[in-house]
Structure 1
Amino acid sequence: MNPLRKDPQQRLMGLYRDLPDAEREMLLAFAEFLATRGGRKDVPVPEPQAIPRPEEETVIKAMKRLSSTYPMLDKARLLNETSMLMSQHMLQGREAREVIDDLEAVFARHYRELCEGGQ
């Protein structure tokens, strides 16, 4: 049987089984996000991934870390604020550590709003 013609639920389960543990967690978090975005209120918002902040980190790497920490957030909703902060660093020379602090605050605020049902 052609694997593309399988039942979608079977395909999804096969993909899930083939993923490493970290990617399984991301897939589950994304599925929960989609369920809440679709109006389901009974699906709890997943917890952020515990990814510690390195001592030395670039703004770009911080964005990647924060995106992995909060896979349940809609990145399009973050785009305006995060791009403004990245521009302050790249174009205006604002200190990376300060920008990363602000990026962490933006992601945390959006997560709180999601938990409160505001997103």
Structure 2
Amino acid sequence: MRDEPTSGHDFATWSPLDSDGWYAARNATTALRDVLVRAGLEKDFPYLRADLNAFGHGLVELGRVSPDTAERLAELLRLALASGLGADRDGSEAAQTTTNEHRERT
């Protein structure tokens, strides 16, 4: 085994930087951070970071937030859905229905 030729790739030296999942998570984290900055919420998500799971799949860690921050984020999402940003690509009205259902409950 020790004398077997290797393919030039040593799994002991694997790096997240070799993973497409890492770059996808990093790009999504950056996009979310930029929106949070514009909304004035950047300091409310101190644990926001890109991560990988054990299988190399990219994840975005949002972390814990205060109830006030969660309410503010929910309101931003409601406003986005109400403006039509959440409409499905096929043109369905599912997002608008969800927004209306929430308004009826409050």
Same fold (TM over 0.5): no
Please identify the structure whose Cα radius of gyration is greater. Answer: 2
**What's the TM-score once normalised by structure 1's chain length?**
0.27
Structure number having the greater helix percentage: 1
Structure number having the greater strand percentage: 2
